[in-house]
Amino acid sequence: MLVDIVPVGSVSAEVKRAASTALRSVYDCDVAINDSQSIPSGAYDDGRNQYSAEAFIQLAERTGRGEKNIAITPHDLFYRRRNYVFGLAYLDGSGSVVSTYRLQTSSDGGFSNKSAADIFQDRVRKEIVHEIGHTYGLEHCDNNRCVMNFSPTVREVDIKEENLCGSCQRLIT
Ligand SMILES: [Zn+2]
Ligand SMILES: [Zn+2]
């Protein structure tokens, strides 16, 4: 199984590396990093000043070379009526997306002793693992430590771990 990371816009080397190592550590997969892509035309909604998550998924499906392809972007994403999303994927789909835009708030409120840079990277890793989990057919998990727990805010992201819980793990093996 190959997962191809598709950067859209200006994505730092640290973010690409964090995404790649997280995917390799959680899933039995190879990871490639594609060339940077420009924002898909028509993705921008000027009424919301945000970008359509679905357009980024389509771009990942179109340009990715993997069985699974995940777009990563610094731009703010929306999906339907939700004010924003950290990411989006379709169950058992081949494309997905994560936005780092709202993961970069500086602090975790003292939840850990980590630096802002480490907290940001941890959030990126968790959201990447989460969205790829959906493409493996995993739905949201009630265990708030499991990476497949739904996290509407960074608070929930910070509480959960990077790994699948035992029940989710059994579903994909
Ligand atoms: Zn989810
Ligand atoms: Zn779980």
pLDDT of 106 strictly over 90: no
165 assigned to a ligand binding site: yes
How far apart CA 116 and CA 41 sit, in angstroms, is 33
Q: From the CA of 34, how far away is ligand 1's center (Å)?
A: 24
Active centre residues (catalytic): 131
Average pLDDT value for residue range 57-68: 98
User: Mean pLDDT in the chain?
Assistant: 96
Which amino acid, residue 88?
L
In three-state form (DSSP H/G/I as H, E/B as E, the rest C), the secondary structure along 19-85 is HHHHHHHHCCCEEEECCCECCCCCCEECCCCEEEHHHHHHHHHHHCCCCEEEEEECCCEEECCEEEE
Name the 3-class secondary structure at 95.
strand
Average pLDDT value for residue range 37-41: 96
29 assigned to a ligand binding site: no
**pLDDT number for residue 20:** 98
Of 121, 120, 119, 123, nearest in space to 131 by CA: 123
Q: State the architecture of 1-168 in CATH terms.
A: 3-Layer(aba) Sandwich (3.40)
Q: Which residues pair with 45 in a beta bridge?
A: 50
Confidence of residue 63 (pLDDT cuts 50, 70, 90): very high
Q: Which of 50-59, 69-78, 82-91, 103-112 has the lowest mean pLDDT?
A: 103-112
Q: Which of 49-63, 91-105, 108-122, 149-163 has the lowest mean pLDDT?
A: 108-122
Average pLDDT value for residue range 67-71: 98
Q: From the CA of 41, how far away is ligand 2's center (Å)?
A: 36
**pLDDT number for residue 92:** 95
pLDDT of 142 strictly over 80: yes
Q: From the CA of 33, how far away is ligand 2's center (Å)?
A: 27
How far apart CA 97 and CA 103 sit, in angstroms, is 14
* Cα separation values, 89 from 47, 48, 71, 92, 114, Å: 24, 21, 10, 9, 29
Per domain, the residue ranges of the chain are 1-168
Place of tokens 């995917």: 23
Percent of the chain with pLDDT over 90: 92
Average pLDDT value for residue range 54-77: 98
pLDDT of 140 strictly over 80: yes
**pLDDT number for residue 108:** 79
**pLDDT number for residue 8:** 98
